[in-house]
Structure 1
Amino acid sequence: MVGYTTDTIVGTYMAVLRVLQLQSPYGFSIKPLLDKFGFSPSFYTPGVNGSFDFHIAYPSLSFLSVLPFYVLGLHDVRDTIFIFFALSILLIFGLAPPRLKSVSVAPFGLFPFVIAGSWTDSVWAFFLVLTTLLWYRYPKASWASFGLAVAAKQIAIVVAPFLLIRLWHENPQTRMRSLGTNVGLMLAAFFLPNLPFIISTPASWWADVVAPFLPNTPAQVPGGIGLSSLLLDLGIALPSSFFLVLMLGASTALLYLYARRYRGLNSLVFAFPILVFFFYYRSFPNYMAFWLFPLVFELCRLGGPNLRIAFTMRLPSIAWHAPTGTFLRILRQRLTPTLMVVIALTMALVGVSGAYMSQASNPEATIQINGVMDPDSIGAATLINVTVTNLSSVPISPIFFVKYGPLPYFWASNSSVPLSSGSVSSYMIGAPDALSAVPRGDQFHILVGNKLTGQLLGESSSWKANIAAPSLENPGLKWWVLDTSVGSKVPFNWKLSLSNTDPVWSGITPLGVNGTSGVQMILNYSSPLVGLGNVALSQKVLLNATSVVIRFNQSLTTNIASNLIFAASVADGTHTLYYVFSDQTAHQTITSYPSNTTVIIPTERSQWNTIRLTPESIWNSQGWAIPQQATLTLFLESGLPGVYYVSIFSVVPA
């Protein structure tokens, strides 16, 4: 199983499977695949109204570009994404001048995010690199490539107005014909891969690809690394419409600046979208970072911007001829366009700001945090008590989001009853998984949305997650997260290790109806020639925290001679203390060596056993130095072929 960490890449995978079945992926939910891949709810895409988006949200080339590689055997979508990533890097590096070779590999810094972060943006970035590569020698092919970039992800369209301005300046003799021809090529390249899906499922295609970007669509939760996130960290929750108008204003200003100072800013065409998305209310890092691919290529080819030309305003000398109206002519020709743009932007921003200030002066709700809790000792706040006061004249239905990082996370509430006008109610909200839990010592805010209107009601003041540090984290094994290194869910703050096993058939699974009753270890061992098979869970703790009570049920018959054992160990890198749980002995025995000691503890097979371990006393009796940190490990090991199971209910401090 692979470890995907974005719903986008899972949606791409689902779409490939649907196309292979001759079905349109639009309209289908990706939720079953999210569950299959062990996705944490924190990775879902939430709306302000509490809903989640479980549909593929991008045009068809986002998955059609992956399809041929999947057919050829590359079933991990990240492999194909990496191919597009590598092709872009090689193109930029190969065509960069020798003196700029080192600069040309700057986009390679995105590699960890492309693979570990499961970002799929390398596809549309590759087509943008082709757009810049073909621009001067094959302009028509360049615009077709740009259309393919938009057909892979809609956000590429943001640079289109800037490219049209460049085309206008570079073709003074055939401006209108060039614009018409190249825009037509761009639209044809966009619709060509999308047309089969538009024809087969027009309503679903529109609902998934176009409708989410329309103004009347319920807003998603703001966040990212742009202005919206900075304001949220300051306790200022603005509506998405504010950022959309601000984004439009920034785009207008940049377009005007580029049109007036084309020669000085021509090499920065692909830098402008980065500035535009800074003002977007969902300014994700990948929305900004992947513009570096075409930007670096342009800088290597055209050189750096001439900021002196771009930002130097030449004021013409004005001869005093009162009757001729020279000053009025200069004002009209030189300053009127600038003044009109400034006035338009000012009126738009003042209008939106005025609406918000009016809303702020009459807030719809107040949010007060009363306390944080960590009842399961995972080292993070998983419960928060919060009070909401409805100051509006209509009922509200509060939806809660907790923000301590770039993105707010949805938290479930213990009540869904609407709050009537003027009422006050306290809520106990809980983290849906460990990733959304607030780390100990972190500052956080609570955002409250209205399920009835899909709008933000307000934001709380900052609060610090002051919780006690547990000696052993997640002792009940109730909280699980996706571990991308092994491609499966594991108990939070525990590390899963597999040796000489097939991860498809060996590993761990949660116990209980909701996966909150412990863990089951499964060891499917079939290759004695490659060494011992091993499944292990470990956590680094202080030595005195290794005194624990373990409750478990082992179905295997212990065979120490063949290394078929379920055991625990405490190690510091130099010394190791083993506890072997055996159903083949009636008395505890201790065998000591200079660097390790083995304790065999009698247990019963296929029964729940409760065993208390006191490693610190044995450690001291051996005369070993007290380590700053030790590793507590529970492991199932075998040298005999077979399938073996152990269920662990809890590992709690003694």
Structure 2
Amino acid sequence: MPREDSEESQAVRTEGVQQHQPIEKWRIHFLIYAVFYINFSFLMWYLVGYLNIAALISIWALLILSGIFILYAVALKAESSISKILPFIAFSFALIIGIASYLQFFPNTTTDEMIIDSYAAYLTIHGIDPYVNANMANVFLNYKATGFLSTPLLSGGIVTYFEYPGLAAIVFIPAILLGLPAFTVTVFFDIASLFLVFFYYKRRGFTSSAPVLALVMGLIVEYGIFSSSGVTDVIWVFFLGVAYVFRKKPWIAGIFYGLSVAFKQIPALIFPFFLYFIYMENSGDKKKTFSFVAFTAIAFIVPNLPYIILNPADWFVNITSIASQKIIGIGVGPSILSFTGVLHLPPAFFSVSLIALTVALFFIYLIHYDRFRYGFFAFPIMIFLLDYRSLITYLIYWPFLVLLLLPDFIASKRSGAEKPKPSSSTTLRFLATFERSAIRNKKTSAAIIVILIFFATVVSAGFYYSQNDSTPIAIHNIQQIGDPYMVAGNVTYMQLNISYKPAPGDPAAMPLHYRIFTESLGAAGANGLLWYAENPYVHSGYNNVDIYPMYANSLLPANSPTFEVSAYGNSSKVLATYTHDTAIKIQYTPINNPTLSFLTNGSNGVIFPGWTWSSSINGHFPLSVNRGIVMSANETTQSGPVNESLSSTVNFTYLAEHNYSLNLSSSVLKGKIAVNVSAPWLSFYGAVVTLNTQYKFYITYNNSMPNDLLTQTQKETSFLFYTNVSSINFTALSNAIYKSYSYIIGPVQQAVLSYVLNYDNQGEVMVEIGNLSLKGSS
């Protein structure tokens, strides 16, 4: 009996020990993952709804993984190798959901680079050489607005030619053949980059560093948004990352580094640094270093070989022209001082500075390799800042590569292993001696550096001003400013007073182009607000030049407190600026953008500023024509009538009180359609005025009916307003309404003007609403 009590008490004590054993951290992590992703899935489903298939499939996968997380947390005895990868798989699906939802609300966001690369891939599939510039001329034909997307040339127009190595086209061929959007390629490389980091961290025993992994995931999310918006740089980043991982196998590293450069020229900048790194990492083995160089060359040439064979001259000119192309300056670097007119420094000054800094950093890397061994991925951030076009995409991807090598840096510090010794060549000994001498004589060295900088600046400025066309133009003032296009709250016209003083050899008339800088980049992006002159030429003496916005995202907000107008010519030396800092007064317009000007990219259904498109045919849009639109429909594409409308909120009371008339013409271009006078919601084309959200007035041109006649249809809330002139007089419409139907409608609280096509017959019909203009008198 005592023995049984003893065994029972021992069992109780053993159970007590087990009950108080702490739960493993990985189980807690899995439970946290499950709770987070279940709630994340619910929120994203509520956001995207039922029609975003890509997001919905990823949500289902995420919910299944959440269930697996819970099962693993409560059922597994120990963490398995498979379970360690599940968080990254779940994160990948969450990334896809985020990108799919982003594209749902911003469907037309992209860049000219992705458009050009994809079109080059399309031409390649059809056996057409994309390096022949004439073949790329129609690259933007299917894109409605290119102001934000494009790269403007100093000579006017935009870049349409293919200036990247061949892999930039080849990599998009699978997406085109499968009918997938181009961004699926870049998103694939985003996810591949995540797994590259994970597997490399796992191999290096670095997976327990949660803050670093969280930082990597954060970068991948940022890159995912960039990729879905048309930025392609993650592709060369992935190849370069793989090249680093295989640095101990130089031939493999050479293949992936060659592919990186074969996609885009940017990673070529670190070639001397990476070459020396490969050399040192392989104990100074020259054969292995040569192997790296050889396989780099092979991997670069192979995807370019078809284009080289086809047309070597055009291929070479295009991929090297990226360093000398005459395009407008943009970016975050010091070149801002140049292209905004603060300092007159030519692009060559920044190119020389970039090269000088690269050489200086390379020498420092050679001399202090033991200190900067893993720092060469950070050098491009400083170097590209000096580029004349220092785009943010040139800078933001290098931190990812720094994080990739972080385990090696930390391991080298912890191990206390002997640091690799740099080469002991005579050149390096001389550089090291020179550096030590410079450090000992700090004041002298500083003075020499200042003198060199001053001398370089003076020489550059002297060369700049010595040119015949260094300062041939000047903007003296803005003589007029207004909004003739009546785009509410925006400036759509300026008259500039510009002087041109041609030097000997200058043309008698010089073409100029314009852009405007406001206090923030806004919708126009880094290019600024691009404007144009109907007559681009200025002549010797003083010129009054009328300029207008080029695109919808080039409209200048009328409430801009300060803005700068910049005029530029075919050379970067032709530059003049003028700063406007007084309040702008724009006339009130009761109809926003009545001429349907400034076509947009159609985001959220807004295809003209102030106007929203709606169609019962999914993905169907009207065609923009001068001062109007063309709408088309085919009844056989759906069951029931086709209903399309372009609508804008208007101030009906103001229009009526000030006797405004909207001139327009409605015509049938193709097919047959007649107005159904008893049920115009079934068959009608033309303008419709909707009052207080429900009362619709269909404007019908009929020269056989009395002018300004108002009749009721089968519905009490629908009316026909007859006019025998090509205009709508809002005063006449208001008088007709309140003469007979004011007791039904009451005071007007809201009014919407729409251009409508309702069609319920067989065959195709095409109608034009055109010659739009708004006239009024106060």
Q: TM-score range by the shorter chain?
A: 0.7 to 0.9
Describe the superposition over 1:576-615 as per-residue Cα deviations: whole angstroms up to 9, x where unpaired: 442334579985246999xx954432368xx945353659
Structure 1, unpaired ranges of 5+: 310-327
On the 8 A contact 2:497/2:542 being kept in 1, the answer is: no
Q: Which residue number in structure 2 is paired with residue 588 of structure 1?
A: 710
- Shift of residue 281, structure 1, vs aligned partner: 0.8
- Shift of residue 264, structure 1, vs aligned partner: 5.4
Are 1:647 and 2:757 an aligned pair? no
Q: Which residue number in structure 1 is paired with residue 310 of structure 2?
A: 200
On the 8 A contact 1:577/1:619 being kept in 2, the answer is: no
Query: Which of 620, 631, 651 is the equivalent residue of 1:521?
Result: 631
On the 8 A contact 1:4/1:37 being kept in 2, the answer is: no
Alignment of 1:161-172 (within 5 A): 161-172=272-283
Amino acid at match of 1:579: F
Q: Which residue number in structure 1 is paired with residue 263 of structure 2?
A: 152
Q: Hey, what's the Cα distance between the residues in 1 that align with 2:253 and 2:228?
A: 28
Describe the superposition over 1:182-236 as per-residue Cα deviations: whole angstroms up to 9, x where unpaired: 12221221111112211220111112111342xxx45321112322235545733
Are 1:468 and 2:596 an aligned pair? no
Q: Which residue number in structure 2 is paired with residue 85 of structure 1?
A: 190
Q: Which residue number in structure 2 is paired with residue 35 of structure 1?
A: 141
Q: Which residue number in structure 2 is paired with residue 45 of structure 1?
A: 151
Q: Hey, what's the Cα distance between the residues in 2 that align with 1:129 and 1:39?
A: 35
Q: Which residue number in structure 2 is paired with residue 113 of structure 1?
A: 226
Are 1:250 and 2:357 an aligned pair? yes
Amino acid at match of 2:633: L
- Shift of residue 144, structure 1, vs aligned partner: 1.5
- Shift of residue 239, structure 1, vs aligned partner: 1.1
User: Cα gap change, 1:301/1:170 in structure 2, threshold over 3 Å: closer, same or farther?
Assistant: closer
Q: Which residue number in structure 2 is paired with residue 377 of structure 1?
A: 486
Q: Hey, what's the Cα distance between the residues in 2 that align with 1:171 and 1:342?
A: 37
Q: Which residue number in structure 2 is paired with residue 324 of structure 1?
A: none
User: Cα gap change, 1:508/1:393 in structure 2, threshold over 3 Å: closer, same or farther?
Assistant: same
Q: Which residue number in structure 1 is paired with residue 675 of structure 2?
A: 558
Amino acid at match of 1:236: L
Describe the superposition over 1:458-510 as per-residue Cα deviations: whole angstroms up to 9, x where unpaired: 33132258351643332112332333567xx93344232333x154xx42112
Q: Hey, what's the Cα distance between the residues in 1 that align with 2:257 and 2:527?
A: 30
Q: Which residue number in structure 2 is paired with residue 364 of structure 1?
A: 471
- Shift of residue 243, structure 1, vs aligned partner: 1.2
Are 1:440 and 2:558 an aligned pair? yes
Describe the superposition over 1:103-139 as per-residue Cα deviations: whole angstroms up to 9, x where unpaired: 11223223343333x2232322332232334335x44
Are 1:428 and 2:534 an aligned pair? no
Query: Which of 481, 489, 496 is the equivalent residue of 2:613?
Result: 496
Q: Structure 1 stretch 393-402 or stretch 138-147: which is displaced more?
A: 393-402
DSSP-derived class of the 2:227 partner: helix
On the 8 A contact 1:552/1:646 being kept in 2, the answer is: no
Q: Hey, what's the Cα distance between the residues in 2 that align with 1:463 and 1:8?
A: 34
Are 1:123 and 2:235 an aligned pair? yes
Q: Which residue number in structure 1 is paired with residue 622 of structure 2?
A: 508
Q: Which residue number in structure 2 is paired with residue 317 of structure 1?
A: none
Amino acid at match of 1:441: N
DSSP-derived class of the 1:523 partner: strand
Query: Which of 184, 192, 203 is the equivalent residue of 2:294?
Result: 184
User: Cα gap change, 1:485/1:56 in structure 2, threshold over 3 Å: closer, same or farther?
Assistant: farther
Q: Hey, what's the Cα distance between the residues in 1 that align with 2:165 and 2:675?
A: 56
DSSP-derived class of the 1:223 partner: coil
DSSP-derived class of the 1:507 partner: coil
Q: Which residue number in structure 1 is paired with residue 214 of structure 2?
A: 102
User: Cα gap change, 1:425/1:580 in structure 2, threshold over 3 Å: closer, same or farther?
Assistant: closer
Q: Hey, what's the Cα distance between the residues in 2 that align with 1:385 and 1:622?
A: 49
User: Cα gap change, 1:57/1:331 in structure 2, threshold over 3 Å: closer, same or farther?
Assistant: closer
Amino acid at match of 2:235: V
Q: Hey, what's the Cα distance between the residues in 2 that align with 1:577 and 1:256?
A: 78
Describe the superposition over 1:245-289 as per-residue Cα deviations: whole angstroms up to 9, x where unpaired: 222233234434544555555554333222222211112232223
Q: Tell me how large the CA RMSD over aligned residues is.
A: 4.2
DSSP-derived class of the 1:203 partner: helix
- Shift of residue 26, structure 1, vs aligned partner: 0.9
Amino acid at match of 2:293: V
- Shift of residue 147, structure 1, vs aligned partner: 1.1
Are 1:482 and 2:601 an aligned pair? yes
Q: Which residue number in structure 2 is paired with residue 399 of structure 1?
A: 512
User: Cα gap change, 1:549/1:341 in structure 2, threshold over 3 Å: closer, same or farther?
Assistant: farther
TM-score, normalization: structure 2?
Answer: 0.67
Amino acid at match of 1:142: A
Q: Hey, what's the Cα distance between the residues in 2 that align with 1:341 and 1:193?
A: 48
Amino acid at match of 1:61: L
DSSP-derived class of the 1:47 partner: coil
Q: Hey, what's the Cα distance between the residues in 2 that align with 1:290 and 1:139?
A: 23
User: Cα gap change, 1:361/1:160 in structure 2, threshold over 3 Å: closer, same or farther?
Assistant: closer
Q: Which residue number in structure 1 is paired with residue 173 of structure 2?
A: 67
Q: Hey, what's the Cα distance between the residues in 2 that align with 1:130 and 1:600?
A: 69
Q: Hey, what's the Cα distance between the residues in 1 that align with 2:754 and 2:411?
A: 56
User: Cα gap change, 1:416/1:179 in structure 2, threshold over 3 Å: closer, same or farther?
Assistant: same
Describe the superposition over 1:368-412 as per-residue Cα deviations: whole angstroms up to 9, x where unpaired: 232333322222334442312427455252522313242256544
Greater CA radius of gyration, 1 or 2? 2
Are 1:236 and 2:354 an aligned pair? no
On the 8 A contact 1:562/1:640 being kept in 2, the answer is: no
Q: Which residue number in structure 2 is paired with residue 15 of structure 1?
A: 120
Are 1:275 and 2:275 an aligned pair? no
Q: Hey, what's the Cα distance between the residues in 2 that align with 1:638 and 1:59?
A: 50
Q: Which has the higher helix share?
A: 2
Q: Which has the higher contact order (CA 8 A, sep 6+)?
A: 1
- Shift of residue 81, structure 1, vs aligned partner: 3.0
- Shift of residue 148, structure 1, vs aligned partner: 0.6
DSSP-derived class of the 1:385 partner: strand
Q: Hey, what's the Cα distance between the residues in 2 that align with 1:508 and 1:9?
A: 25
Q: Which residue number in structure 2 is paired with residue 224 of structure 1?
A: 331
Q: Which has the higher strand share?
A: 1
User: Cα gap change, 1:155/1:331 in structure 2, threshold over 3 Å: closer, same or farther?
Assistant: closer
Q: Which residue number in structure 2 is paired with residue 634 of structure 1?
A: 755
- Shift of residue 337, structure 1, vs aligned partner: 8.2
Percent identical residues: 20
- Shift of residue 12, structure 1, vs aligned partner: 1.8
DSSP-derived class of the 2:291 partner: helix
Q: Hey, what's the Cα distance between the residues in 1 that align with 2:545 and 2:330?
A: 24
- Shift of residue 64, structure 1, vs aligned partner: 0.7
DSSP-derived class of the 2:512 partner: strand
User: Cα gap change, 1:152/1:334 in structure 2, threshold over 3 Å: closer, same or farther?
Assistant: same
DSSP-derived class of the 2:405 partner: helix
Q: Hey, what's the Cα distance between the residues in 2 that align with 1:190 and 1:549?
A: 64
DSSP-derived class of the 2:721 partner: strand
- Shift of residue 151, structure 1, vs aligned partner: 0.5
Q: Hey, what's the Cα distance between the residues in 1 that align with 2:544 and 2:460?
A: 27
Q: Which residue number in structure 2 is paired with residue 316 of structure 1?
A: none
Q: Which residue number in structure 2 is paired with residue 135 of structure 1?
A: 247
Are 1:456 and 2:558 an aligned pair? no
Amino acid at match of 2:575: G
User: Cα gap change, 1:163/1:72 in structure 2, threshold over 3 Å: closer, same or farther?
Assistant: same
Are 1:294 and 2:408 an aligned pair? no
DSSP-derived class of the 2:462 partner: helix
Are 1:601 and 2:721 an aligned pair? yes
Q: Hey, what's the Cα distance between the residues in 2 that align with 1:537 and 1:270?
A: 51
On the 8 A contact 1:374/1:381 being kept in 2, the answer is: yes
